[in-house]
Amino acid sequence: MAGLEFHLNGRRVVIDEGSRELGFNLLQFLRQTGWAGTKEVCSEGGCGACSVIVSHWDEGKQRPVHRSTASCLTPLVSVHRKNITTVEGLSDLTENEVHPICEAFRELGATQCGFCTPGFIMTLEARLNAEEGLAKKDLERLYDGNLCRCTGYRPILDAAAVFCDDPLEDEPRVDKWREDYQRTKRLDAVFPEEYKIPAESLEIKGRRTSWHLPASKDEALSSGTQFVAGNTDIGYLEKYAFQHPARKTLLTGVSDLKEITDEGEAVVLGAGVTIEELHQAFKDSPDSGLKALSNQCRYFANTQIRNHATIGGGIISFSPYGDLVPVWIATRAVLNFSTPNGEEHVKVTGTGFSLPENALLVSVTVPKAAGDTHVESYKYARHRSDSITYVSGALSARFNPESGTFHDFILSYSGIGPSGFRAFETERFLEGSPLDAEALREAVTGLKLEVRAGINNPLPERIHAYQVRIAAAILRRFQSALRSRFLKESVREEEDLVSRYPAVAHRAHESFTERTEGLLGRAIPHQNAKLQTTGAARYSVDYEVPNCLYGAIIASPVANGRLLSIDATKALEHPDVVGIFTADDIPGKNLFGFRVEDEEVLASERVHYVGQPVGILVANSLAAAREGKHLVKVEVEEETPLVTIQDALEARSFHGNPEGYLLEQGDLENGFSESAKVVEGEVSLSGQYHFYLEAQSALAIPKDEGLLIHSSTQSPSNVVDHISALLEMKQNHVDVRVGRIGGGFGGKQLRAGPIAAIAALGAHLSRRPVKLTLDRKEDMAFCPGRGFSHAKYRAGFLADGKIHALDIDFHLSGGFSNDYSADITEIATLLMDSCYHIENIRVHGLCLKTNMGSNTSTRGFGKPQASAVVETVMDHGASALDMDPNLLRRRNLYEKGHRTITKTEIRDDVMANCWDRVVEKADYGKLRQEVDDYNRAHTFTKRGLAVVGSKGNMGFIRTDDINRGLALIHIERDATVSVTHSGTEMGQGIDTRMAQVTADAFGIPLENVDITDTDSSLIPNTPPTSMVSTDLCGEAVLKACTKLLGTLGGYEGSFEEKVHAAYLAGESLTETGVHNAPRLVYDYEKQQGDISYFFVWGAAVSVVEIDVLSGHYRILRSNIVQDCGKSLNPLLDIGQAEGGFLFGVGYYMTEEMIYTGKGQLISNNVSSYKIPGPGDIPLDWDIELLNHDPNQSGLHNSKGIGESNVQLGLSVYFATKEAVRAARREHGLSIEFAMDFPASVDRITAVLPDIESMLR
């Protein structure tokens, strides 16, 4: 009987015919068989966390080829006779304890939560085993399919640069790591000998699908089959459609579909040629058509997808968003099919062509462009890399040198309407024209009308406006290319920002001063880094137990209505579905919340947002659970939802205090009357999803009495509360354990509890373990993160730029339930001053209730919204006064002796120190001149410069149980120490810092301290892990250490000798520590109060360059100076500063939660929700810790900084706005304008001069 076989980390694996694994993708198989270093994050091939190396024999090259691969889209059958290497397999390639790549990542701080780390390492290792070299400038493109939410990417790029041909400089360990790497085994050396011959054809039957793996195209041709090549399209669609064709033909083994043949006047491309192979083949081609094909491949998806996606697959799918479709049309490509009746040839001319039936696409013939013909290709999307296109275009024209005119135009676009869209009317208009300025202006006018009429997609209207502009911008760029080539015109600054920078290497520098007093202040790598870089780290989502059931959420399909029925009949017919549980099965209380219990764990009578859980389906496998849930029919009597802030205001739908939160200081009326300028405006901010890479997950295991829970939570005791209430179970019967979590950012404080409770319900009722992990779309609906916000302001400024009066109405959407949103609204209200001294101020904050998933605590907790509002006010005031906004900001900074708007005294000048230091480092005066000089010399690109400060609070008001730290310490007989504390490790490095504090207190080596998992049975009643946890847990650890040192004080000798003596004397070598911080309260009657234990300050300078035609931008430079008191661990603090900054860049520039009018989230995975990638970090990035201002209140004079620097991302936003202002000024437009957040490309172009004005 035929079997599937491959090698996995040096071991031969055989899968027998009929096995259910034949229906798996590679990721499912790896995780099922214990290779948990490979992670699931998006299941769309867009995050890189599931990257492995797939090696196959290339008969033409007579060598193995090694490709980084998105295992989530790779059918297991496709790895037949291939060699698979996961991150765990790297240990077999080195004689060292740790592979040198892993070691460099560990030592350079390139891992925080670690969930993404194996994917980055495997992508790099695959490239280092390729034929082409690797330079630092290549890293951005190499990593365009790998995402990290924690680090800010700088240390990842540094670690990868160690192994580049032009290695990382100024790092003394580089030579050793490179030498160690040269001694590792190459992947060629471990490729199985028996696979070094072409594979024979294979027929193998799975439980649902029979697979045919032909060895030639003649064997491949058959009817009634679905052809599969790279599976990057089909795999994505099948994830949501759950279609299982009876027969599939896998074409990856057909070598004659992979050939590229030059036939003189044309090139024939095998349909199995991958996108990356196509790019490499013609990236230096003199032929403009072939170069256009290669150019478009640069921006196609990402490295992992380009390695496997084939040109044939893209043609057959012929997506309206296909990047290459316009290029096939512009190059006049011909599709060559093999059919049962012979060959058929189809010209690709536009929307009207059809494919022959029962045919196999064999090749594509691309005619070479004649010498008088020119082809160009373009792609513009929300994001420069790995983003679904807004507009991709390919344009072609022929030049007649005798008449000086252009002919035979093809203007083809995708993303606009039907696939193969062509602007036929504009083509006819341009026929025979000189394509001079006048012709272009008339053509642009007609093209915009033609594109507008052709738009047929579900994107918002503002995106439609952007698509119209970009279609015209593409024509403008094409005109420049034509006239430059054929008429030898010199075109000033026509380079496109989308294409310029991937060839530029990043430069980064961080500076700090280590303390000299032992372990405190040392730059020590993350304690978990070795496990995380080698794939050995286990997260809640990785735990597997025997006899386990897998859960899937049954969710509401609508945003508001009465729940009528849940019909599970078809789902229960599935052979692997075990059962479904709903609200009717809950034995206890079906409510939860913060301050007020206003949300059901499982909706019972009404639903309140799309994606709200109404039940849990449990099955024998994760695949069956996810398939089964789509067979459940949820019937709802739909009602009109409240989606926007305005909807909620009109309905008077509130959370928290319905009167809102009112702060008033000074004399507002007098302040306005004395002001030289008064400005008014509005600020709108989108929501922001946390995008922790490990989704909400829990494993519930029945015990003799009660349950053991592995939960990805920031708050173990909150999980205990949820489960004990839901199941009417004693709290001491619920044991919650948390080792490490793959990112949290506030999203796993409250909202991890109901997920664990739903899993516990399934386990309690089935008496079997139940594992519940949300997929990314479910997670984004259930826990959408930071709420939408809106503010109206009126501000008065004195003639010298001092803000003299400020009146703000601030509104925050909390989603369906209160959660933390009312508190966030209150904090945003009380922190509306940011780092500025404002004596006359009124702020009124309201929290709105809407029919969306419950918004919750998110990194920054109100500060990022408040800062965006007040910085907009400052920018507006500067425009009105015609002042440099950065000088106006400096004029208003807090100084020692000032009082905040909550009447807290400022006791130092740290804010001013940060500002002045960052301005000095950036050499602001020189930088200002350089930016101004650049803008005078360039029309189609502009630069902007901005300086922004930040003030971070520490602590939570009216929440005593959060402002608390707990610790439990055991000293073993050998004088090693085990520490358990109430915080959870989610990448911020709390475990490493607690180990440092403990080792320092006892005067022992760091390696003698072990930080154990957070466990509710060891430390009950834990507060959620938050911005204050390092300080408070550290103080609790110190208190426990002090008690133990008191015990040991009665004995002589070394620490080891004291411990041994105390043990013999029967002393307890276990102690607890509890630290309660003072209560924080704001008194609204007295209009004063303490809302923070201390403040954390920072400042950033950023320079941004924008493409005036397309709105794309690039951060050229950022300098950051971050206050951290006296740093406990500069390596970790630098990482927090970088990660927080880029989190802010995402919030203010790229990330957007887009909902339909019915409350359906449509930006619900990596393909549509774009967090910053490696290409979004500053090209020149300098970070300095202001590491010499001791904080008297913090742990060992330090300050926690993880949430204080998100606001510094505003320096990028306002630098972008300054660049826009420069373009507007040049074209005579007002320099006072509003630009909503995030500053996506469509919002940037909406405030830029229109295309027509730039053609005059």
Per residue in 740-772, pLDDT tens?
A: 999 999 999 999 999 999 999 999 999 999 999
pLDDT tier for residue 514 given thresholds of 50, 70 and 90 = confident
| pLDDT tens for each residue of 586-609 | 999 999 999 999 999 999 999 999
Q: Which of 119-133, 197-211, 368-382, 866-880 has the lowest mean pLDDT?
A: 197-211
pLDDT of res. 846: 98
pLDDT at position 239 over 70: no
CA angle 251, 252, 258 (to 5 degrees): 95
Domains delineated in the chain: 3-197 (3.10.20.30), 258-491 (3.30.465.10), 546-639+696-773 (3.90.1170.50), 862-956+1095-1246 (3.30.365.10), 973-1025+1029-1058+1068-1076 (3.30.365.10)
pLDDT of res. 492: 60
How far apart CA 837 and CA 690 sit, in angstroms, is 31
pLDDT at position 317 over 90: no
How far apart CA 667 and CA 602 sit, in angstroms, is 50
**Mean pLDDT, range 1048-1064, rounded to an integer:** 97
| pLDDT tens for each residue of 653-678 | 999 999 999 999 999 999 999 999 99
Rg (C-alpha) for the chain, rounded Å, is 31
Our CA dihedral for 674, 677, 681, 684, rounded to 10 degrees, sits at -90
How far apart CA 508 and CA 1135 sit, in angstroms, is 13
Helix (H, G, I), strand (E, B) or coil at 1200: coil
pLDDT of res. 246: 87
Chain centroid to Cα 426, Å, comes to: 39
How far apart CA 350 and CA 1054 sit, in angstroms, is 83
| pLDDT tens for each residue of 1095-1131 | 999 999 999 999 999 999 999 999 999 999 999 999 9
pLDDT at position 576 over 80: yes
pLDDT of res. 202: 93
How far apart CA 1200 and CA 525 sit, in angstroms, is 17
| pLDDT tens for each residue of 38-47 | 999 999 999 9
Judge whether 457 and 419 are in contact, CB under 8 Å. no
Contacts of 179 (CB under 8 A, 6+ apart): none
**Mean pLDDT, range 81-95, rounded to an integer:** 97
Neighbour tally for 493: CB within 10 Å: 12
How far apart CA 816 and CA 751 sit, in angstroms, is 13
| pLDDT tens for each residue of 678-715 | 999 999 999 999 999 999 999 999 999 999 999 999 99
Judge whether 187 and 1208 are in contact, CB under 8 Å. no
pLDDT of res. 1190: 67
Residue 1235's Cβ-count burial label (10 Å; 0-12, 13-18, 19+) is buried
pLDDT of res. 340: 87
How far apart CA 1122 and CA 1186 sit, in angstroms, is 6
**Mean pLDDT, range 186-193, rounded to an integer:** 97
The per-residue pLDDT of the chain, averaged, comes to 95
Q: Which residue has the higher pLDDT, 631 or 1194?
A: 631
Q: Which residue has the higher pLDDT, 491 or 884?
A: 884
How far apart CA 177 and CA 795 sit, in angstroms, is 57
Residue found by looking up tokens 């965006």 in the block = 868
How far apart CA 449 and CA 469 sit, in angstroms, is 11
485 sits in which H/E element:
helix 461-486
Q: Which of 84-93, 286-295, 414-423, 747-756 has the lowest mean pLDDT?
A: 414-423
Sign of CA dihedral 101, 105, 106, 111: negative
pLDDT tier for residue 318 given thresholds of 50, 70 and 90 = confident
pLDDT at position 293 over 80: yes
pLDDT of res. 91: 96
Q: Which of 116-120, 249-253, 516-520, 645-649 has the lowest mean pLDDT?
A: 516-520
Roughly what angle, to the nearest 10 degrees, separates helices 275-282 and 288-298? 130
Task: Provide the strand spans (E) within 113-183.
Answer: none
pLDDT of res. 506: 79
pLDDT of res. 1203: 86
Q: How many residues does the chain have?
A: 1256
pLDDT tier for residue 858 given thresholds of 50, 70 and 90 = very high
pLDDT of res. 494: 53
| pLDDT tens for each residue of 249-266 | 999 999 999 999 999 999
pLDDT of res. 1254: 86
Percent of the chain with pLDDT over 90: 89
**Mean pLDDT, range 68-79, rounded to an integer:** 97
Residue 591's Cβ-count burial label (10 Å; 0-12, 13-18, 19+) is middle
pLDDT at position 136 over 60: yes
* pTM score: 0.97
- For residue 999, what are its two tokens? 């080792």
**Mean pLDDT, range 8-21, rounded to an integer:** 95
- For residue 293, what are its two tokens? 């094909």
pLDDT tier for residue 160 given thresholds of 50, 70 and 90 = very high
995 sits in which H/E element:
helix 990-1002
pLDDT at position 496 over 80: no
